[in-house]
Amino acid sequence: MLADAPAATATQAVGVGEREFAIAIYRPKVHRGKVKFNVRNLGEDVHDLVVTRKGKRVGALATIVKPGASATLRLTLKKTGAYRLICTVADHEARGMRATLRVVK
Ligand SMILES: [Cu+2]
């Protein structure tokens, strides 16, 4: 918990759909606090998920996600602003597997 500012206390679920080659975020804006990314691979290749803010890695899935499989990533996003969700498998990011999640107060 942050002492200096209010943050969401309940975990906010964010659905993330991955496929070749795009990342769809079903909830593009959340409040600061706990976020649970429910990641589903809707494609035919393996994918992963890395979350960054201002170029710094905030967190990532521990494992790669196989086609048709799901994975969960729990993070506490303490700072407001734009977070990037990317897939770091091969050249997937350059091919379009990137999305933005906005975190507001
Ligand atoms: Cu990928």
Residue 9 confidence (pLDDT)? 80
Residue 17 confidence (pLDDT)? 98
User: How far does residue 20's CA lie from ligand 1's centre (Å)?
Assistant: 7
Residue 3 confidence (pLDDT)? 52
Measured between alpha carbons, how far is 101 from 105 in angstroms, rounded to an integer? 13
Measured between alpha carbons, how far is 78 from 40 in angstroms, rounded to an integer? 24
> Rounded to the nearest 5 degrees, what angle is found at the Cα of 80, between the Cα atoms of 56 and 55?
15
Amino acid at 16: V
User: How far does residue 103's CA lie from ligand 1's centre (Å)?
Assistant: 23
User: How far does residue 16's CA lie from ligand 1's centre (Å)?
Assistant: 12
User: How far does residue 96's CA lie from ligand 1's centre (Å)?
Assistant: 9
Per CATH, the number for 8-104 is 2.60.40.420
Residue 7 confidence (pLDDT)? 58
User: How far does residue 90's CA lie from ligand 1's centre (Å)?
Assistant: 7
Give me the tens of pLDDT residue by residue for the chain, a chain 105 residues long.
555 555 558 999 999 999 999 999 999 999 999 999 999 999 999 999 999 999 999 999 999 999 999 999 999 999 999 999 999 999 999 999 999 999 999
Measured between alpha carbons, how far is 90 from 32 in angstroms, rounded to an integer? 31
Domain positions in the chain are 8-104
User: How far does residue 40's CA lie from ligand 1's centre (Å)?
Assistant: 11
